[in-house]
Amino acid sequence: TDLSHIRNFSIVAHIDHGKSTLADRLIQSTGTVADRDMKEQMLDAMDIERERGITIKANTVRIDYKAKDGRTYVLNLIDTPGHVDFAYEVSRSMRAVEGSLLVVDASQGVEAQTLANVYTAIDANHEIVPVLNKIDLPAAEPERVCEQIEDVIGIDASDAVKISAKTGLGIPDVLEAIVTRLPAPTGDADAPLKAMLVDSWYDAYLGVVVLVRIIDGKLRKGDKIKMMNTKATYPVDRIGVFRPAMQQVDELGPGEIGFLTASIKQVRDTRVGDTITHEKKGTDKALPGFKPSIPVVFCGLFPVDAADFEDLRDAIEKLQLNDASFSAEMETSAALGFGFRCGFLGLLHLEVIRDRLEREYDIDLITTAPSVIYHIHLTDGEMLELHNPADMPDMVKIDHIEEPRIKATILVPDDYLGDVLKLCQDRRGVQLDLTYAGARAMVVYDLPLNEVVFDFYDRLKSVTKGYASFDYQMIGYQQDALVKMQILVNDEPVDALSTMVHRDRAEARGRAMVEKLKELIPQHMFKIPIQAAIGGRIIARETLSALRKDVTAKCYGGDVSRKKKLLDKQKAGKKRMRQFGKVDIPQEAFISALKMD
């Protein structure tokens, strides 16, 4: 295809502002997919994505569009992941295209992820077309939102396209804007092959599928390719494009976006951001800025039933085929037995993987408290990276401890600002900035990541009734007074409940945890002390009194079937418990105990 007839773009938006709906309309109105085959949210493939309304993996579609100038253009849309955990993937896929549609819900205005995503697009030198969506809603205020885009983001919104992705209003204008306002790609078809590895995933039939953007040169079936960072070489089996179903083609040239398969065994062998070239007569200049994505949040995953360990191992290996950014190492815990210590890009990523293990592989899991990576500086000058509080070395060997901190940007209506400031303050935040955009405040905080990984986002949503939006980036490590807090149940330490806490907060946190555990652990035939301790010192204690729990006591008369039902329920509940010494601790206790109200 002639370069001047190609337009490559992505859509950037805050969650729920209508990115997927717009993508569907673009696909549908150009006849890329016949109406009868159209299902909502074509590009959101995974169940979890649909349920949570988020896009996890980048997806792509190639659209043919006959423009008003009479010429037919090839439009390549790359749908980027919408969540902060996947910031690196977003920034790579942005570098594969030349422009962005900035979708803003005209009834909501600019939100935190609008900002984060649009700045990534600006960093990638994109031409940006603002699109105001949902103008069918009575609450839509397109003029005000245009002003806000100019004030807050600093881009011209005077010719923003006003649309309703739901009704289809304004979709032709979006297509014309893509052709007339976004630049065509550039590239040299005669130069050595240089292609960007934008994304990859595992397909049960084809093996690893690699999404590529050709920068220079040509890629053909049968070519021998080389990944410049991993140095691995492969013969190419297939190349093709997405419409959005896969369609094979003979060649991909500069400016084009498509896929290749090459009997690559694992997604791990395909690093997002890597440069692909020919094994012979290839380019020697890799694309700049490659970096592997690294896990920042760790937690233990253990099967509730120890007999499921092998199933869990298989399931983790299968998921890793598709997701190279999550790590897993075998771990043994005195209390929980065999399991895995897993690393994730962020908390959402953790939840997604845990849900998939439970749902798709039907394994009941105990998830231990998420932890960040601490830098433990020992008195002998060595530095340890601590992924698991249970592995903390002896206090006497430690000189000081550093923890990761983030810069968090929160946008919130004025009315809730006080609650947000209090929440950030409670989480050891340091305020960096506070500005206003209309009736919304934008606050920037420096916060310890460990105070955020757990339930910060839930708390933020609840104190602001869902009106706040949030985004963050890592800023580095800083020393603080951190200690390891242990929980003892019936005088036995439960390593899976160990956490790192700030010394000044340890007592309050310890008290809250033992009180929570007292509610969560069912009564037994004997008394159970529940304690929080730092080193050998007990800082909080509760006692669970002894009682025999007779669930059938409430049944008057002799309704046998009801009695049986209750007993079955009790049995099912027992299955989700884990025995610690003589004490049964329910699975949900491991997470709930750490939530702060």
Q: Which is nearer to ligand GDP, 84 or 521 (CB)?
A: 84
Which residue is at the shortest CB distance from Mg ion? 20
13 contacts which partner out of Mg ion, ligand GDP, none, CB within 5 to 8 A by kind? Answer: ligand GDP
17 annotated binding-site participant: yes
- Please count the CA atoms within 13 angstroms of the CA of 36 that sit on its side-chain side: 0
117 binds Mg ion (CB under 5 A): no
The answer to whether 168 contacts ligand GDP (rule: CB under 6 A) is no
Strand partners, 128: 100
Q: Which does 120 bind (CB under 5 to 8 A by kind): ligand GDP, Mg ion, none?
A: none
Instruction: Give the span between the Cα atoms of 132 and 109, in whole angstroms.
Output: 9
Q: Is 498 in the site for ligand GDP (CB under 6 A)?
A: no
Nearer to ligand GDP, 59 or 587 (CB): 59
Cβ neighbours of residue 593 closer than 8 Å, sequence gap 6 or more: 487, 497, 513, 516, 517, 520
CB of 209 to Mg ion, least distance (A): 21
Tokens of residue 463, six digits:
């104190």
Q: Residues, the chain, total?
A: 597
User: Is 18 within any annotated ligand binding site?
Assistant: yes
Q: Which of 79/495 has CB closer to Mg ion?
A: 79
Q: What angle do CA 575, 581, 585 make, to 5 degrees?
A: 40
User: Are the CB atoms for 535 and 493 separated by under 8 Å?
Assistant: no
Q: Give the containing element (helix H, strand E) for 259.
A: strand 257-261
Shortest separation between residue 50's beta carbon and ligand GDP, angstroms: 9
Are 340 and 300 a contacting pair, CB within 8 Å?
A: yes
Over the window 11 to 50, marking each residue x when it contacts ligand GDP by CB under 6 A and - when it does not, the resulting string is: --x-xxxxxxx-----------------------------
Q: Smallest distance, Å, CB 293 to Mg ion?
A: 21
Beta bridge partners of 549: none
Nearer to ligand GDP, 133 or 388 (CB): 133
**Is 19 among the annotated ligand-binding positions?**
yes
Write down the least CB distance from residue 470 to Mg ion, Å: 18
Q: Which of 59, 80, 120, 164 binds ligand GDP (CB under 6 A)?
A: 164
- AA letter at 269: D
Site for Mg ion (CB under 5 A): which residue of 8, 32, 55, 275?
55
Output the CA–CA distances (angstroms, integers) from residue 586 to 301, 311, 370, 573, in the order listed. Answer: 15, 21, 18, 8
Kindly tell me which of 166 and 221 has the beta carbon lying closer to ligand GDP.
Answer: 166
Would you list the DSSP string of 193-239? PEEEEEEEEEETTTEEEEEEEEEES-EETT-EEEETTT--EEE--EE
CB of 80 to ligand GDP, least distance (A): 11
Site string for ligand GDP, 112-151 (x = CB under 6 A): ---------------------xx-xx--------------
Asked if 274 and 228 count as a contact pair (C-beta separation under 8 A), the reply is yes
Binding site feature residues = 16-21, 133-136
Residues that bind Mg ion (CB under 5 A): 20, 55
Residues that bind ligand GDP (CB under 6 A): 13, 15-21, 53, 133-134, 136-137, 164-166
